[in-house]
Amino acid sequence: MVNVIRGTSDKPVSSKKLGEYFEARNDIEGTLYLGYPIIGTAQGGYQIDALLVSKQHGVIIFHIVEGTHTDLNLEDIQDENITKLESKLLQHKELLKRRKLMVEMSVVTYAPAWYQYPEDIDIKEYPILITKEDLDNFIELCSWEHNQCFEKVNSVIQAITTISKKNPRSYVKKEDSRGAKLKKIEESIANLDATQNAAVLETVEGVQRIRGLAGSGKTIVLALKVAYLHAKHPDWNIAVTFNTRSLKGQFKKLINNFAIEQTNEEPDWEKINIIHAWGSPKIEGIYYNFCKIHNIEYLDFSKASLLTFEDGKEFDYACEKALHNTQNIQQYYDVILVDEAQDFSQYFLRLCYEILKDPKRLVYAYDELQSLSDKMMQSPELLFGNNEYGEPKVRLENLAGEPKQDVVLNTCYRNSRPILASAHALGFGIYRDQGLVQMFDESQLWLDIGYDIDEGELKEGKFVKLIRTNETSPKFLEKHSDIDDLILFKTFNNNQEQIEWLVKKIENNLKNDELRYDDIMVIHTNPKDTKTAVGKARELLFERKINSNLAGVTTTPDVFFEDNAIVFTGIYRAKGNEAAMIYVINGQECFQGSELDKKRNILFTAMTRSKAWIRVLGYGSNMKKLEEEFNKIKANNFSLNFTYPTEEERRKMKLVNRDMSQAERKKKEKKRKDLRKVIDIDDEELKELVAELSEEYKEKLKKSLE
Q: Of 138, 157, 176, which residue is a domain's last?
A: 157
Q: Is residue 695 part of a domain?
A: yes
Which CATH number does the domain housing residue 630 bear? 3.40.50.300
Q: What is the pLDDT of residue 338?
A: 97
Please report which confidence band the pLDDT of residue 659 belongs to, taking 50, 70 and 90 as the band edges. very low
Task: Give, in degrees to the nearest 5, the angle at Cα 478 between 473 and 480.
Answer: 145
Please tell me the distance from the alpha carbon of residue 314 to that of residue 290, in angstroms, as a whole number. Answer: 17
pLDDT at residue 230 is higher than 70 = yes
The letter for the amino acid at 342 is Q
Q: Of 346, 380, 409, which residue is a domain's last?
A: 409
Please report which confidence band the pLDDT of residue 661 belongs to, taking 50, 70 and 90 as the band edges. very low
Domains contained in the chain, number = 4
Q: What is the pLDDT of residue 672?
A: 58
Q: Are residues 421 and 549 in the same domain?
A: yes
pLDDT at residue 161 is higher than 60 = no
Q: Of 364, 380, 409, which residue is a domain's last?
A: 409
pLDDT at residue 698 is higher than 90 = no
Q: Are residues 288 and 360 in the same domain?
A: yes
How many residues can be counted in the chain?
A: 706
Q: Is residue 176 part of a domain?
A: no
Q: What is the pLDDT of residue 658?
A: 39
pLDDT at residue 669 is higher than 60 = no
Is residue 211 within 8 Å of residue 410, measured between CB atoms?
Answer: no
Q: Are residues 263 and 397 in the same domain?
A: yes
Q: What is the pLDDT of residue 370?
A: 67
Q: What is the pLDDT of residue 594?
A: 87
pLDDT tens for each residue of 74-91: 999 999 999 999 998 998
Please tell me the distance from the alpha carbon of residue 574 to that of residue 525, in angstroms, as a whole number. Answer: 11
Q: Are residues 446 and 365 in the same domain?
A: no
Please report which confidence band the pLDDT of residue 568 belongs to, taking 50, 70 and 90 as the band edges. very high
Q: Is residue 164 part of a domain?
A: no
3-state secondary structure 649-688: HHHCCEEECCCCCHHHHHHHHHHHHHHHHHHHCCHHHHHH
pLDDT at residue 264 is higher than 90 = no
pLDDT at residue 668 is higher than 60 = no
Q: What is the pLDDT of residue 576?
A: 81
Q: Are residues 220 and 334 in the same domain?
A: yes
Average pLDDT estimate for 463-481: 93
pLDDT at residue 187 is higher than 80 = no
Q: Are residues 447 and 595 in the same domain?
A: yes
Q: Are residues 230 and 318 in the same domain?
A: yes
Q: What is the pLDDT of residue 393?
A: 93
pLDDT tens for each residue of 12-46: 999 999 999 999 999 999 999 999 988 888 788 88
Task: Give, in degrees to the nearest 5, the angle at Cα 355 between 350 and 360.
Answer: 80
Region of 525 (left: φ > 0; alpha: ψ -120 to 50; beta: rest) is alpha
Q: Which of 135-144, 171-180, 306-315, 689-698 has the lowest mean pLDDT?
A: 689-698
Q: What percent of the chain has pLDDT over 90?
A: 60
pLDDT tens for each residue of 310-336: 778 899 999 999 999 999 999 999 999
pLDDT at residue 595 is higher than 80 = yes
Please tell me the distance from the alpha carbon of residue 134 to that of residue 142, in angstroms, as a whole number. Answer: 13
Owning domain of residue 79: 2-157
Helix (H, G, I), strand (E, B) or coil at 313: coil
Q: Is residue 457 part of a domain?
A: yes
Contacts of 256 (CB under 8 A, 6+ apart): 266, 267
Q: Is residue 252 part of a domain?
A: yes
pLDDT at residue 210 is higher than 90 = yes
Q: Which of 374-383, 398-407, 557-566 has the lowest mean pLDDT?
A: 374-383
**pLDDT greater at residue 695 or residue 591:** 591
How does DSSP assign 53-82, residue by residue?
A: EETTTEEEEEEE--SS-----HHHHHHHHH
Which CATH number does the domain housing residue 125 bear? 3.40.1350
Q: Are residues 557 and 623 in the same domain?
A: yes
Q: Are residues 288 and 429 in the same domain?
A: no
**Average pLDDT taken over every residue of the chain:** 89
